Amino acid sequence: MTGEPQTYFLQQALNNAWANATFYGALRDLPPGAFTAERPGFFPSLSRTLNHIYEVDLYYIDALLEGGLGRSVYDREDIEDPAMLGAAQAKSDMALASFCKGLTPETLAETRVTVRKHGNPAERVDRLLLHLFQHQVHHRGQAHVQLQDAGIAPPQLDDFFLDDGRVPSAVPYWS
């Protein structure tokens, strides 16, 4: 990894995509009904937690790309099939990685409008990205506990950046 700031954001986006793909892979072992069953956490189920991650990604990626959808991204039905939600999340993750791949120092300092209930504040691109990655980690951690509550051993999700211990599934994202 070089010292260029845009490289940092691309690596974060790729780590995010890998962690999501790894987590969704663990969902294949869920018994029927377990995805939507009530679980401890900020959101009441794995389904609701992962749908929240996905829709917030849609919101911020739309803002970053200046797509104009704003809060309308929240006007959707939850996806209650984990494979379908995983596919939608993967598509979103690749859109984010593609955006990060094209970043320049100038783009990172630009602002984007975020449509809020209380107005439309402009936020710096670099800070929006930092927030989005933090949001993912925060709620993926909650889903991790919910997966364990469902009786599935949660996957290791922090072995991406270090050479020592990097899991083989991270290598294609890292390269």
Question: Which tens digit of pLDDT belongs to each residue from 68-121?
Answer: 999 999 999 999 999 999 999 999 999 999 999 999 999 999 999 999 999 899
pTM of the shown model: 0.93
> Is residue 55 pLDDT above 70, yes or no?
yes
Residue 46's CATH number: 1.20.120.450
* Domains identified in the chain, total number: 1
Domain boundaries, position 121:
5-174
DSSP single-letter state for residue 170: G
| Buried-exposed string 66-83: b where 16+ CB fall within 10 A, e elsewhere | eeeeeeebeeeeebeebe
Coil vs helix vs strand at 12? helix
pLDDT digits (tens, 9 = 90+) for 2-39: 568 788 999 999 999 999 999 999 999 899 999 999 99
* CA atoms of 89 and 54, how far apart (whole Å): 6
- Averaged pLDDT, 156-173: 77
In 3D space, the residue among 69, 29, 18, 27 whose CA is nearest the CA of residue 46 turns out to be: 27
Q: Which residue has the tokens 């996957």?
A: 155
